């Protein structure tokens, strides 16, 4: 049972009611029994963009101002903190589901030609609108986003995210070699453009900047060094890149950086392993590299749909979460190699990746990863990722009977864990009833409304 929570002098402007799931800690370390909170009939009230009340409906109702609107989503719903996506490429939205090949060939055939179009700000803005609407439709309230080498692509995304009030991290790709000439910057222009974007956007509204070397093969050593210098100048920014996604990529990095002992060491050598570093994939990291991740406070973004789609491998989340040296792990859709915006579909693939590593990922642990776990990986679990008083009111409401087969299957669910597992194996965007951003309803599925 949840403990009723309020803040002094609350000024709630709206409230929602229904079953609530949230986490108070890390179940991989402390166990689900000590960290998972489920309240079968709760009220969550919010005002000023933050949660002002949370607890059993019987306790909270009398504490709310008379006449405050309470939207009741009913017993077949599930209220949760909004989902987080720690690794996604918004420019690849127009090419999601592009056929074939593994990582390096796929980049040449599809990604680079598509990203060329983002020199056109109007095009970039049109895609940003589609991308963020799909995020909302899937209950994603925060993402860590790769834009393109063109600064105007960052402007396009942040402009739309600011209009929607979203907490969003993003950055201009740094890429000065091993890509088509039309997508290359230079060490100096990449630094200058990124610094200007940081000064323009970082800390504005709910926006956060991510310094973004695409991956080691597309940056020279001096560009990686420049990224580290820029991060030293703006240490509260993020740094995002890719690591150990594909075995051919790993071999290529070794050829390009023969003096470094491994792929991750290329980044660590250039002072890019530290808190607020988010490394996509990390499938093939060895034990020493995992230890480096742990020691430096760096995070891995687990992107299972993408990894299966490109045949890259299957990340071992159980190994990453070892209690003696746990690594921060977030969840990523990695569009457009990832093939779905749905976090539920991504959890389905995460379960399969774990199975291939002889590790059974429970539904409770999976939902933690999709919410508080990814917020922890991004060092914003004091702001988002949980339903608790004082947290920012980014909320998703799921319909637990969103399709005929899910409704039928739920008749046989014996407990909460099984009900959650059904959602993450059979559910998709149709399960999302509503998405709230800073307490404002920004998406409603008209096919499954509240009462």
> What does the pLDDT look like over 203-231, one tens digit per residue?
999 999 999 999 999 999 999 999 999 99
Spacing of C-alpha 146 from chain mean position: 12
The CATH class for the domain spanning 83-377 reads: alpha beta
> What pTM was computed for the model?
0.96
pLDDT of res. 446 = 87
Residue 450 reports pLDDT greater than 50? no
Q: What does the pLDDT average to over 425-441?
A: 98
Query: Where are the domains positioned within the chain?
Result: 5-81+386-444, 83-377
User: What is the chain's alpha carbon radius of gyration, rounded to the nearest angstrom?
Assistant: 21
Query: CA nearest 325: which of 33, 28, 32?
Result: 28
Query: CA nearest 307: which of 281, 344, 335, 327?
Result: 281
Residue 179 reports pLDDT greater than 60? yes
> What does the pLDDT look like over 28-47, one tens digit per residue?
999 999 999 999 999 999 99
Conformation bin of residue 184: beta by default, left when phi > 0, alpha when psi is -120 to 50: beta
Residue 449 reports pLDDT greater than 50? no
Q: Which CATH number does 5-81+386-444 carry?
A: 2.30.40.10
Those residues with Cβ within 8 angstroms of residue 54's Cβ, 6 or more apart along the chain or in another chain: 2, 4, 5, 20, 42, 43, 44, 45, 60, 387, 388, 389
């Amino acid at each position: 049972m949840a403990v009723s929570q309020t803040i002094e002098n609350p000024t709630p402007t709206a409230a929602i009611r229904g079953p609530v799931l949230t986490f108070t800690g890390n179940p991989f370390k402390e166990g689900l029994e000590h960290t998972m909170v489920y309240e079968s009939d709760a009220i969550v009230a919010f005002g000023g963009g933050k949660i002002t009340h949370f607890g059993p409906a019987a306790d909270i109702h009398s504490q709310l101002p008379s006449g405050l609107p309470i939207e009741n989503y009913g017993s077949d719903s599930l209220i949760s903190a909004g989902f987080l996506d720690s690794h996604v490429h918004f420019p690849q939205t127009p090419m999601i589901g592009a056929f074939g090949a593994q990582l390096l060939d796929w980049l040449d055939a599809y990604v680079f030609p598509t990203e060329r179009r983002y020199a056109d700000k109007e095009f970039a803005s049109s895609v940003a609108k589609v991308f963020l609407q799909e995020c909302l439709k899937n209950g994603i309230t925060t993402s860590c986003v790769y834009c393109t080498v063109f600064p105007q692509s960052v402007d396009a995304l942040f402009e739309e995210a600011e209009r929607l009030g979203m907490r969003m991290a993003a950055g201009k790709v740094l890429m000065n070699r091993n890509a088509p000439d039309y997508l290359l910057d230079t060490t100096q222009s990449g630094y200058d453009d990124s610094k200007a974007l940081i000064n323009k956007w970082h800390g504005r509204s709910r926006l956060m900047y991510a310094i973004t070397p695409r991956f080691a093969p597309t940056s020279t050593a001096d560009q990686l060094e420049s990224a580290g210098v820029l991060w030293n100048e703006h240490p509260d920014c993020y740094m995002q890149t890719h690591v150990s996604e594909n075995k051919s990529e790993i071999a290529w990095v070794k050829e390009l950086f023969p003096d470094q002992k491994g792929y991750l060491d290329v980044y660590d050598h250039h002072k890019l392993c530290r808190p607020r570093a988010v490394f996509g994939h990390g499938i093939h990291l060895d034990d020493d590299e995992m230890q480096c991740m742990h020691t430096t406070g760096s995070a891995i973004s687990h992107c299972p749909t993408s990894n299966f789609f490109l045949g890259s491998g299957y990340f071992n989340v159980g190994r990453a979460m070892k209690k003696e040296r746990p690594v921060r792990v977030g969840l990523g859709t990695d569009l457009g190699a990832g093939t779905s915006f749905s976090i539920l579909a991504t959890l389905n693939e995460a379960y399969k990746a774990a199975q291939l590593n002889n590790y059974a990922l429970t539904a409770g642990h999976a939902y933690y990863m999709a919410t508080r776990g990814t917020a922890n990986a991004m060092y914003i679990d004091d702001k988002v990722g949980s339903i608790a008083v004082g947290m920012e009111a980014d909320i998703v409401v799921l319909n637990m009977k969103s399709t005929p087969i899910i409704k039928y299957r739920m008749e046989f669910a014996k407990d909460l864990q099984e009900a959650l597992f059904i959602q993450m194996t059979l559910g998709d965007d149709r399960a999302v009833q509503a998405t709230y951003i800073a307490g404002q309803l920004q998406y409603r599925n008209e096919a499954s409304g509240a009462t």
